[in-house]
Every structure is written in C-alpha cells, then in structure tokens.
C-alpha cells in the first residue's frame, strides 16, 4: 500500500503513547458505527468466520431515527440471507406508492406495484428494531463482537497505513488493532474527519423539520406528501404515529422559529386540515428536530487500511428515503469484495478501490435524481410559491416507472455472494 495517510496521525503510538490504554484487542475488521451499513457488514463478515468488532458510540439503539424505510432492494438482500420472513414478523407498515396531494389533484411520483420483486413496497419499520434484529442475528456467530458506548476518538497509523482505532468507553481508553478499519459512522462521520477525506458538496434548496403526531386507525397506510400554500409536508406511517417532515427553504429555520410555534402549527393545518386537532400535541420546540439537508460524497472512499461506506462516504438528501438502502448495498459490496482478502489477512489498496468503483456510479446517479427533484419539484414551491406541477416524464409510459425503480431497487442490483 502507498503511504497516503494524513499528517496529523501518530506514526508510532507504541513509542509515543498519548493515553493510558485500558486494553488492546485485535480483530480482522473494526467497523465504526452501528447503523444499517455497519451492522449489515458486520453480520456478513461474521457469517464468513471473519473476526469483526462493531463499535457503536451510543449505549443502545433506542433513540429517535428518521430513516425507517426498508426498500425492496434490502428486502431481497434479507431474503438471500434467509432473514426476510422473520424480519416481516416485526410490526411494520407497507408503502406501495409515493404520492403527493395538491389542492387540485393527486400525483404519483413512484409506484412500486409494477416491480418484479417479491416485495413491491417500501417496508416502514422502525430503524431501532431493524438494528436490534441484525445485531442479534450477528451475535449467533462467535467471530462477531459488539461494543456499545464506544466513542472512537483517534485512528492508529503506522508505516503509512491505518491499523485500527482508539476509543473511550467502559472505564477509559481502549485500542483496537485491525487489518481493516471501516467508517460507517454516518453523516457526521468522525472517521471521515480524522482521515481528512475531501468531499464534493452540493447545496440542496431545502431543510426539514421533523415531528410526530398521532395517527388514527382510519388514516391511510404508508405515507403521503402534501403540496399547498407554498409548503411541502410529508407524512410517514410509524404505526400509532405519523412521522411528519415539514420542508422549508434552506436557511429559513431561524425566521420560522422567530414567528413562533403557533404560526408553525397554523401553517401545517393549512396544508393538512385533518391535523387540526392533532397539531395541539405539539407543545414545545423540543418536540421538533431540525435537519439541515446536505448532499455530498467524498472523492476517494479509502486510504490504506481504511474504508468509508454509507453516509460516511456519501451524504444523501432525504428525497426518496434511499440513504439506508444505498448504505446497506455498500455493505454488501464491501463484504463481497473484501471477505477473501480479510481471510488472507492482506487487504490491498486495489481491493478498497474496487468497492468504490462498484458503488460510486449508483451513488452519483441517485444523487443526481435527488437534485433534479429538489430543484425542479420542491424549489419552485418553496422559494417561488408556485403551484406544484408534476414533472413531464411522469406522463410518459416509458419513463413513468423509472422513479419507482431507482428508489426501490437502486441503479444496479446488489446480491450477497459470500
């Protein structure tokens, strides 16, 4: 491997120890981040008898996730692992279309019913349940080790190569030595920062406020988007609650906050009148989460001994809810490519480059699709207060099913080979 390692990393921590280390452990692969990408990659490697340590900064998975959509591409991967039927035994809802309702009409952006798959729908399953399911499955394999509350602070670099991490947790500093370290630690990736990866960024024209409101038994299953009054609202089915996304122009949060909570509630009801009573469940801004929408990808996903996948490598806009699914596809490709080198205990830079080569084009295509929707569909409504007009391609039979396929299955099919 070449010596392409950031200058600020310690070159010989054994000579210049920075901390009192409680213990030093070794593994074949150290994965930082227990989200969907990290958990699925850990499971796939453990099934092959590869020693893998999964480090998660939080002490449990029971927190507020907004990405609860499991698309057909992931359900097919679960089927290949023999897990799909058991996964669907967990309480969930099904979204068979992505539709937007305006005061004048209802427009279908994506219809999954025409897809050639056993799972022609998006599975609405709380991410906490998905992560618990995957990690419990992984724990059946003795080569898998999960460490919760592991706050990774440093990369270990020796001889121009990343050889593991140091983390705080469980009574002090710990060190993990690994043949390969994988950063799967999300949109605010610490490993991306520590590794000094260079990003290519776009500027989506929107931000999102997230909150929850009660869902009634007579409400439709799955979800729905609403356009009206220069506003965009999406509603996602979470069983007895709606997870509501209130889309606002980029940089508009402070102005909205200054107008007050009652003004926000009023504007929601203008678009979704059936929330007239339910909106009173919002009592305080602490119930509302602000998401600054980003879209970016790192130019190169790897350095010697280190690979980024999922949001750590490419931050997705929430359009289409594809982030989790592309992250899991990254994990499958990484396992397919890297299992043999890890078994041979020698991962070459060319192996890491192969993972990016297989996943970069699909990532760029879906990000281009998201940008198109944001600029041509969302921006005119949010910024210019125009009436929503469905994109022309939705009226062409040859292109009508393209959004559904892109969102549901991705650009290229990904299958488990290991």
pLDDT tops 50 at residue 13? no
8-state DSSP, 395: G
DSSP state of 121: S
Q: Taking a C-beta distance cutoff of 8 angstroms, is the pair 271, 279 a contact?
A: no
Distance CA 150, CA 354 (A): 29
Give yes or no for a contact between 41 and 184, defined as CB atoms under 8 angstroms apart. yes
Instruction: List phi, psi (to 5°) of 313.
Output: -95, -30
3-state secondary structure of 289: strand
What are 202's strand-pairing partners? 295
Share of the chain above pLDDT 70, in %: 90
Total-model pTM: 0.91
Of 22-26, 97-101, 274-278, where does mean pLDDT reach its minimum? 97-101
Average pLDDT, the chain: 89
Token pair of 324 as six digits: 């989790």
Q: Give 143's DSSP letter.
A: T
Q: Residue 271: pLDDT above 70?
A: yes
pLDDT tens figures, 36-63: 999 999 999 999 999 999 999 999 887 7
For the stretch 306-319, pLDDT in tens is 999 999 999 998 88
Q: How many Å apart are CA 122 and CA 245, to the nearest integer?
A: 17
Give which of 169, 199, 408, 414 is closest to 312, Cα–Cα. 199
Instruction: Quickly state the pLDDT bin for 6 (edges 50, 70, 90).
Output: low
Contact (CB, 8 A) for 74 and 37:
no
pLDDT at 382: 81
Cβ within 8 Å of residue 416, ≥6 positions away = 44, 77, 80, 81, 332, 335, 336
The DSSP bridge pattern shows strands 21-32 and 173-183 to be parallel
Domain residue spans of the chain: 21-65+127-202+295-409, 206-249+251-291
Give SS3 for 104.
coil
324 and 69 Cβ atoms separated by less than 8 Å: yes
Q: Answer yes or no: CATH 3.30.300.20 is held by domain 21-65+127-202+295-409.
A: no
Alpha-carbon distances, residue 175 vs 24, 114, 189, 343 (angstroms): 5, 50, 19, 22
Whether the CB-CB separation of 336 and 355 falls below 8 Å is answered with no
Instruction: Specify the pLDDT at position 15.
Output: 34
Residue 106, beta-bridge partner list: 101
More confident residue, 25 or 203: 25
Q: Which of 39-53, 100-114, 260-274 has the highest mean pLDDT?
A: 39-53
Q: What is the 3-state secondary structure (H, E, C) of 130-153?
A: HHHHHHHHHCCCCCEEEEECCEEE
Phi (first) and psi of residue 324, to 5 degrees: -60, -40
User: Phi and psi (nearest 5°) for 161?
Assistant: -140, 140
Place of tokens 């009592």: 283
Cα–Cα distances in angstroms (integers) from residue 385 to residues 95, 212, 381, in the given order:
29, 26, 5
Average pLDDT for residues 191-216, to the nearest whole number?
A: 91
Q: Is the pLDDT of residue 10 over 60?
A: no
| Bigger pLDDT: 113 vs 336 | 336
286-311 b/e (C-beta count within 10 Å ≥ 16 → b): eebeebebbbbbbeebbbbbbbbbbb
More confident residue, 20 or 164: 164
Query: According to the model, what pLDDT value does residue 309 have?
Result: 98
- For residues 280 and 39, give the distance between their C-alpha atoms in angstroms, rounded to a whole number: 38
Q: CA-CA distance, 149 to 61, in Å (whole number)?
A: 11
Do residues 327 and 184 make contact, with C-beta atoms less than 8 angstroms apart?
yes
In three-state form (DSSP H/G/I as H, E/B as E, the rest C), the secondary structure along 214-276 is: ECCCCCCCCEEEEEECCEEEEEEECCCEEEEEEEEECCCHHHHHHHCHHHHHHHHHHHCHHHC
What confidence tier does 143 reach under pLDDT thresholds 50, 70, 90? very high
Pick the more confident residue, 414 or 229. Answer: 414
How would residue 18 be classed by pLDDT, with cut points 50, 70 and 90? low
Higher pLDDT, 66 or 364: 364
pLDDT score at 263? 94
- The whole-number average pLDDT for the span 382-389 is 70
Question: What is d(CA 133, CA 8) in angstroms, rounded to the nearest whole number?
Answer: 38
Q: What is the DSSP-derived secondary structure letter of residue 378? A: I
Q: State residue 394's pLDDT score.
A: 63
């Amino acid at each position: 491997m070449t010596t392409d390692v950031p200058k600020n990393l310690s070159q010989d921590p054994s000579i210049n120890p920075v901390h009192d280390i409680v213990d030093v452990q070794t593994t074949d692969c150290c994965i930082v981040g227990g989200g969907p990408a990290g958990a699925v990659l850990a499971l796939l490697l453990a099934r092959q008898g590869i020693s893998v340590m999964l480090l998660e900064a939080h002490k449990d998975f029971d927190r507020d996730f907004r990405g609860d959509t499991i698309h057909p591409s992931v359900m097919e991967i679960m089927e290949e692992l023999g897990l799909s039927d058991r996964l669907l035994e967990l309480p969930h809802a099904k979204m068979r279309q992505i539709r937007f309702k305006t005061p004048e009409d209802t427009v279908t952006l994506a219809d999954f019913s025409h897809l050639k798959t056993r799972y022609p729908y998006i599975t609405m399953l709380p991410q906490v349940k998905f992560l618990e399911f995957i990690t419990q499955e992984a724990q059946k394999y003795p080569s898998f080790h999960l460490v919760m509350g592991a706050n990774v602070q440093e990369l270990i670099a020796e001889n121009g190569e990343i050889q593991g991490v140091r983390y705080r947790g469980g009574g002090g500093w710990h060190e993990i030595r690994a043949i390969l370290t994988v950063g799967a630690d999300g949109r605010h990736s610490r490993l991306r920062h520590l590794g000094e990866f260079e990003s290519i960024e776009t500027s989506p024209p929107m931000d999102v406020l997230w909150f929850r409101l009660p869902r009634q038994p007579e409400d439709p299953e799955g979800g729905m988007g609403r356009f009206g009054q220069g506003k965009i609202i999406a509603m996602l089915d979470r069983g007895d609650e709606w997870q509501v996304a209130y889309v606002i122009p980029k940089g508009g949060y402070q102005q909205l906050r200054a107008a007050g909570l009652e003004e926000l509630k009023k504007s929601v009801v203008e678009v979704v009148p059936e929330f007239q009573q339910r909106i009173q469940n919002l009592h305080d801004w602490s119930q509302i989460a602000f998401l600054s929408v980003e879209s970016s990808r790192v130019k190169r996903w790897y350095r010697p001994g280190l690979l980024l996948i999922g949001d750590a490598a490419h931050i997705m806009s929430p359009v289409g809810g594809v982030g989790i699914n592309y992250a899991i596809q990254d994990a499958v490709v990484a396992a397919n490519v890297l299992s043999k080198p890890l078994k041979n205990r020698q991962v070459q830079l060319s192996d890491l480059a192969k993972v990016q080569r297989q996943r970069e084009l699909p990532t760029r295509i879906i990000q281009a699709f998201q940008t198109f929707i944001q600029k041509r569909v969302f921006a005119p409504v949010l910024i210019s207060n125009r009436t929503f007009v469905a994109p022309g391609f939705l009226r062409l039979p040859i292109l009508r099913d393209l959004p559904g396929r892109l969102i549901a299955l991705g650009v290229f099919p990904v299958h488990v080979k290991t």
